[in-house]
Structure 1
Amino acid sequence: MKRVALAFLVAPFPAALIQSIVVALWPKPGMGVFAHPVSMFVAICLLFYIFEIVLALPLYLAVRKHGPRTMGTYAIAGSVLTLLPIMVAVGVTVAKGGLSAFAVSYNLAFFALGGFIAGAVFWRLTTPPSHKSPS
């Protein structure tokens, strides 16, 4: 159980780190979290934690005993689970005329890749290392 708790805590870190680096390279002064890399890191982690609690935890509990336990399965599930709420949010914002095509593409790509990495990290941390005896 400790592995699962650690995995849920650490899984968002790579995606948050990538977005923080982007903010560090191209800050947007006066735009809240878009102006400071550390605040972006915290914001992305919090957003991913919400996705984990609402979407990923119930899925994990449902398939942990009977579902396939491959890295690809977890990575794709992570990507899909992060894209679902973001697609709704982006769709609402686009309908109001608030995002450019670049911003839509960037957000969808970032969250798809971030979810993919988070799923792979989660799989790695929850899967015990295999102990093969030397032949």
Structure 2
Amino acid sequence: MEVFSCMVSRACDSGRLKGVKLPIGGPIISHLLYAEDALIIGEWEEENIRSVARILRVFYACSGLKINIHKSNLMGMGVDEEEIARMAEVMGCIKGSVPFNYLGILLGANMNRVSNWEPIFSIFMNRLASWKAHTLSIGVG
């Protein structure tokens, strides 16, 4: 996955792939990787999406690791549903929808709603309960 990360970063550095610039002088984010999962983030342009497809093909040619494009999703925020469907067809993948779960966290949801924080809150409560149980000791009095 490190090679894939380098390929995406180089495509961004050369201008072939346009990531998303974070506000207030923040960095440009183009991809997030965790184990065998990859989340590629970028501006919504047909050429950008075609660049992602090229990077995936080159990665396969170089590494022999084939991306299961039929399990992959293409999503757009603030983009017309027909446009997303058309570009998903170009990529050969599934048209996804927002919000979606990534590593157990709801992405793209309105986080001003308390209900959207419930899964994250539950994770912390469960881990905290487990931690508390491990640190308690029964004193003999």
What TM-score do the two structures reach when normalised by structure 1?
Answer: 0.29
Write 1 or 2 for the structure with the bigger share of strand: 2
Q: Which has the higher helix share?
A: 1
Report which of the two structures shows the higher radius of gyration computed on alpha carbons: 2
For normalisation by structure 2, the TM-score amounts to 0.28
Structure with the larger RCO, 1 or 2 (CA within 8 Å, 6+ apart): 1
